[in-house]
Amino acid sequence: MHDPAGRVVVDVHYHAGPDLYRRRLTSAGAGRAYAEVGGWVVLKSHLTSTAARAWEARQEGLPVSGSLVLNELVGGVRPQAVEQAVYAHGPDAPARLVVHLPTLVGPAHTSPLRRTSFHPRLDPDRWRTGRVLDADGRLRREVREVLRAARDLPVVVATGHCDREAALRVVDEAVRLGVPRLVLTHATHPMSGFSGADLADLSGTPGLYVEITALMLLLGHRDISHLGDVVRAHPRVVFSSDLGQPDQPDVKEWLDVSEQWFRTAGLTSREIRAITWANPVTLLTP
């Protein structure tokens, strides 16, 4: 991961099985797919931590690191869950563990994706929890504790499925505590609600990265010109796939389509390198 000449992309958001829904690839399969294109992948699952799976994949020489989503199904918003995942990620992990705030929050997000449950007994709606804010609009104590723990651990905190108001509260608290790396997950997705102007206003926030995903563009939530607008609005944009769904493009297809998008959006070679390689590497490097 530390050799720029040897990698063409670092994808910080790829869904591999097991997950809530059936995925195209297993963890090892995803690792092989990214190895074939000279990339690095961060595995994500709403169902379980991918930290140990990533450690096992790296023992086989695969370019994989892990993440943890703090859904109740996985153990909830608890610093202990974060610590356990850090340990399982390995003492020599070349990348920070990505810790997502809950994604099973509030009413189910309406999605055009065709989804098949991974397990016949699994009902995701049963595991939906409260948002990261309490009834008074303040961050829940558990969220503050996780952010405090993240200050001293080799992790990246991501806002999960926070809406704009909740994400801004997380940003404020992370800055106050000195959390070194924070990501606005698929920031301009309708669910998250950030505008280009919002991102420009946040451009001076230390350690804050902005994610834009291929899936958001593939599903038509935003158009290609929006990609260029986001890249020019904020200096630390990371372009991820958010893929892994069986009916969406595979890794090679995603990279080919992305090259076309970048040209259409008028991105320079330097901007492309920044969002696909340099910014993700800086984000993940311990």
Does the CA dihedral 38-95-19-248 come out positive or negative?
negative
Q: What is the distance between the alpha carbons of residues 144 and 142, in angstroms, rounded to a whole number?
A: 5
Q: What is the distance between the alpha carbons of residues 80 and 98, in angstroms, rounded to a whole number?
A: 15
Q: What is the distance between the alpha carbons of residues 277 and 8, in angstroms, rounded to a whole number?
A: 7
Q: Is the pLDDT of residue 199 over 60?
A: yes
Percent of the chain with pLDDT over 70: 95
- The DSSP bridge pattern shows strands 208-213 and 182-184 to be parallel
- pLDDT at residue 131, as a whole number: 78
Cα Rg for the chain, rounded, in angstroms? 17
Q: Is the pLDDT of residue 4 over 50?
A: no
- pLDDT at residue 231, as a whole number: 97
Q: Is the pLDDT of residue 280 over 50?
A: yes
Q: What is the distance between the alpha carbons of residues 22 and 66, in angstroms, rounded to a whole number?
A: 18
For 266-276, give one letter per residue: b (16+ CB within 10 A) or e. ebeeebbebbb
Query: Per-residue pLDDT tens for 47-93?
Result: 999 999 999 999 999 999 999 999 998 889 999 999 999 999 999 99
- pLDDT at residue 1, as a whole number: 47
Task: Calculate mean pLDDT across residues 243-253.
Answer: 97
Query: Per-residue pLDDT tens for 263-274?
Result: 999 999 999 999
CA atoms within 13 A on the CB side of 36: 11
Task: Calculate mean pLDDT across residues 191-216.
Answer: 96
The pTM score is: 0.94
- pLDDT at residue 204, as a whole number: 96
More reliable by pLDDT, 135 or 169: 169
Q: What mean pLDDT value characterizes the chain?
A: 93
Query: Per-residue pLDDT tens for 105-158?
Result: 865 556 667 778 888 888 887 878 767 999 899 999 999 999 999 999 999 999
What length is written for the chain?
Answer: 286
Query: Per-residue pLDDT tens for 210-222?
Result: 999 999 999 999 9
